[in-house]
C-alpha cells in the first residue's frame, strides 16, 4: 500500500497496522480524498473571507489572516467529516435516526457557512452587477436619509416660515416706501399750496412794501397751507406708525425663525454628510446589504447564487454520499467486532462485580443478624435472672416472717438461693442461644 493511500485512509480516522491488507480498507481512500477536497474548498472560501475582512491592513497581515481563516475552514470540515465517517464505519449498532440527524446538521452548517462566505466569493462572479447596484443603493439611501432628516428637523416647515416672514417684511417695507395715493395727493396738495403762497408773497415784496403788510395780506392762505401740511403729517403718522411697529415685530420674529432654520439646516447638513460618508465607505461590492439586495431583485444574480450554493452543498456532502454508497469497510467491521467483544467483556465484568457486591451485602446482613440474635439472647437471659431474683426475694421475705427465723441466716440462704437461680438462668440462656443457632 502506497503512502498516498495510507494518508487518505488516515484522513477517515482509521489507523493502519503493519498487518493491514489493501483489500481491508475498501473505499476508505476514496472517501478520504473527497474529505480533503471538501476541506480545500472550505479553506479557499474562508481564506477569501479573511482577505476581504482584513482589507484595511497591510498586505503581509492580510495574507496571514487569510491563511489563518483558510486553516480554520479546512479544520472545520476535516474534523466534522472525519469523526462522522469513522463513527459510521466502526459503529456496532444501527442508529439510523442519528445518521439522519447528523446529515441534517451537516447540511445546515454548509448552508450557513456558504451564506457567510458567499458575500466574499460572489463579488468575484458578480462584479459588474454589484458595482451598478452599489450606486443605485447609494442614491436610494441618500434620498431616504434626506427625507428622514427633513422630517427629523422639520426643515421644510421652518424654511417655509422663514420665507413667509421675509415676504411679509418685504411687503411692509414696500408699503412704507410706496405711500398710498391719497397720502401722495395730500402731500402734493400741501406742497403746492406752500409753493403758491411763497410765490405770491415773493411777488408782492418790494422796496416800498412792508413785510408785515405782505404777511397780513396772505395770512389766510398761509394758514390754509399749514393746515393742509398738518393734516398730511397726521395722516402720514397714522399710516406709518402701525406699520413700523408691525415691522419691528416681524423683524424680531424673523431673527428667531431664521436662527432656528439655520440650526436645522446645519444639523440636517451634518447628518446627511455623515450618512453619505457611511454609504460611500461601507456600502461596497463586498457588503452583505448590497449582495442580498442584488440577489433579491436580480434574477440573474439569484440564479448564480443558487447554483454556487448547490454546487458547494453537493461537493461538501460528497464524503457522506460516498460513505452511503460504499457501505462499511472490512477494516471498520473488524474494529466493530473488536469493540463489540470489548463491550461484552465489560458487561461480563460488570455483571460479576454486581454479583460479588450482592454476595458481600448478603454476608454482611447475615453477620449483622447473628450479632442481633446474640444481643437479644443476652437480654432475654438477663431479664430471666432479674425475674428469678425478684421471686426469690419475695419468697424469702415471706418465709422469714412466717417462721420467725433470724435475719442473718435468711440473708445467707437468700444469697445461696439467688446464686443457684442465677447459675440455672445462665444455663437456660446458653441453652436458648444454642437453640436459636441450631434453628438458623
Torsion of CA 147, 151, 152, 157, to 10 degrees: 130
* Residue 15, pLDDT score: 76
Q: Report the number of distinct structural domains present in the chain.
A: 3
* Residue 255, pLDDT score: 92
For residue 38, which of 73, 6, 12 has the smallest C-alpha distance?
73
139 within some domain: no
The three three-digit cell numbers of residue 317, written as one number: 456532502
Q: Both 43 and 69 in a single domain?
A: yes
215 within some domain: yes
| pLDDT tens for each residue of 68-90 | 999 998 898 888 888 888 887 78
If you search the block for the grid coordinates 495574507, which residue do you land on?
Answer: 63
Residues in the chain, total: 440
CB distance 319 to 89 below 8 Å: no
Integer distance in angstroms from the first to the last C-alpha of the chain? 72
* Residue 409, pLDDT score: 44
Q: Both 163 and 86 in a single domain?
A: no
Q: Both 278 and 374 in a single domain?
A: no
350 within some domain: no
* Residue 342, pLDDT score: 82
The three three-digit cell numbers of residue 153, written as one number: 428637523
Q: Both 99 and 165 in a single domain?
A: no
CB distance 25 to 329 below 8 Å: yes
Q: Both 318 and 408 in a single domain?
A: no
Give the residue ranges of the chain where pLDDT is below 70: 1, 24, 93-96, 98-99, 114-119, 204-215, 401-440
Rg for the chain (alpha carbons), in Å?
60
Q: Both 372 and 410 in a single domain?
A: yes
Q: Both 186 and 308 in a single domain?
A: no
* Residue 166, pLDDT score: 92
Q: Both 380 and 419 in a single domain?
A: yes
Backbone dihedral angles phi then psi of residue 19, each to the nearest 5 degrees: -95, 10
| pLDDT tens for each residue of 88-122 | 778 776 666 766 777 788 778 777 776 666 667 77
138 within some domain: no
162 within some domain: yes
Q: 376 lies in which domain range? A: 360-439
* Residue 417, pLDDT score: 43
Burial 258-294 (b: 16+ CB within 10 A, else e): eeebeebeeebeebbeebeeebeeebbbbbeebbebb
118 within some domain: yes
* Concatenated DSSP letters of 424-439: HHHHHHHHHHHHHHHH
401 within some domain: yes
d(CA 159, CA 321): 69
How far is it between the farthest Cα atoms of the chain?
Answer: 203
Cβ contacts of residue 71 below 8 Å, gap of 6+?
Answer: 43
Q: Both 276 and 189 in a single domain?
A: yes
Q: Both 161 and 276 in a single domain?
A: yes
d(CA 67, CA 344): 47
For residue 84, which of 344, 308, 316 has the smallest C-alpha distance?
316
Q: Does this model's pTM top 0.75?
A: no
* Residue 220, pLDDT score: 79
DSSP annotation of 178 reads S
Q: Both 197 and 235 in a single domain?
A: yes
Burial 158-183 (b: 16+ CB within 10 A, else e): beebbeebeeebeebeeeeeebeeee
135 within some domain: no
Q: Both 203 and 119 in a single domain?
A: no
d(CA 378, CA 436): 12
Amino acid at each position: 500500500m502506497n503512502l498516498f493511500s495510507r494518508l487518505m485512509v488516515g484522513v477517515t480516522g482509521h489507523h493502519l497496522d503493519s498487518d493491514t491488507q489493501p483489500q481491508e480498507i475498501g473505499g476508505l481512500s476514496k472517501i478520504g480524498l473527497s474529505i480533503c477536497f471538501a476541506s480545500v474548498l472550505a479553506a479557499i472560501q474562508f481564506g477569501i473571507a479573511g482577505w476581504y475582512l482584513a482589507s484595511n491592513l497591510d498586505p503581509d497581515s492580510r495574507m496571514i489572516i487569510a491563511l489563518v481563516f483558510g486553516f480554520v475552514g479546512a479544520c472545520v470540515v476535516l474534523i466534522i467529516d472525519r469523526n462522522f465517517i469513522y463513527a459510521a464505519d466502526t459503529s456496532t449498532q444501527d442508529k439510523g435516526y442519528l445518521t439522519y440527524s447528523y446529515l441534517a446538521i451537516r447540511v445546515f452548517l454548509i448552508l450557513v457557512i456558504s451564506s457567510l462566505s458567499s458575500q466574499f466569493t460572489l463579488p468575484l462572479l458578480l462584479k459588474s452587477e454589484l458595482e451598478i447596484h452599489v450606486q443605485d443603493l447609494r442614491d436610494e439611501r441618500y434620498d431616504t436619509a434626506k427625507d428622514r432628516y427633513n422630517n427629523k428637523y422639520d426643515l421644510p416647515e421652518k424654511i417655509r416660515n422663514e420665507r413667509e416672514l421675509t415676504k411679509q417684511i418685504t411687503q411692509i417695507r414696500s408699503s412704507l416706501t410706496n405711500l398710498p395715493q391719497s397720502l401722495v395727493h395730500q402731500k402734493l396738495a400741501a406742497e403746492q399750496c406752500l409753493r403758491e403762497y411763497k410765490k405770491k408773497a415773493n411777488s408782492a415784496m418790494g422796496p416800498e412794501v412792508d413785510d408785515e403788510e405782505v404777511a397780513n395780506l396772505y395770512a389766510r392762505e398761509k394758514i390754509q397751507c399749514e393746515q393742509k401740511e398738518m393734516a398730511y403729517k397726521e395722516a402720514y403718522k397714522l399710516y406709518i406708525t402701525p406699520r413700523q411697529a408691525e415691522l419691528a415685530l416681524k423683524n424680531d420674529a424673523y431673527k428667531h425663525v431664521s436662527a432656528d432654520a439655520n440650526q436645522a439646516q446645519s444639523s440636517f447638513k451634518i447628518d446627511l454628510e455623515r450618512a453619505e460618508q457611511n454609504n460611500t465607505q461601507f456600502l461596497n461590492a463586498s457588503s452583505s446589504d448590497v449582495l442580498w439586495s442584488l440577489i433579491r431583485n436580480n434574477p440573474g444574480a439569484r440564479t448564480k447564487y443558487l447554483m454556487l450554493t448547490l454546487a458547494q452543498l453537493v461537493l461538501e456532502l460528497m464524503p457522506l454520499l460516498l460513505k452511503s454508497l460504499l457501505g462499511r469497510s472490512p477494516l471498520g467491521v473488524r474494529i466493530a467486532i473488536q469493540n463489540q467483544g470489548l463491550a461484552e467483556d465489560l458487561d461480563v465484568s460488570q455483571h460479576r462485580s454486581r454479583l460479588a457486591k450482592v454476595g458481600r451485602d448478603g454476608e454482611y446482613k447475615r453477620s449483622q443478624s447473628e450479632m442481633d440474635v446474640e444481643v437479644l439472647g443476652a437480654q432475654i437471659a438477663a431479664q430471666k435472672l432479674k425475674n428469678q431474683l425478684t421471686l426469690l426475694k419475695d419468697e424469702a421475705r415471706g418465709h422469714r416472717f412466717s417462721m420467725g427465723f433470724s435475719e442473718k441466716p435468711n440473708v445467707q440462704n437468700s444469697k445461696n438461693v439467688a446464686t443457684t437461680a442465677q447459675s440455672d438462668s445462665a444455663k437456660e440462656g446458653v441453652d436458648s442461644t444454642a437453640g436459636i443457632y441450631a434453628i438458623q
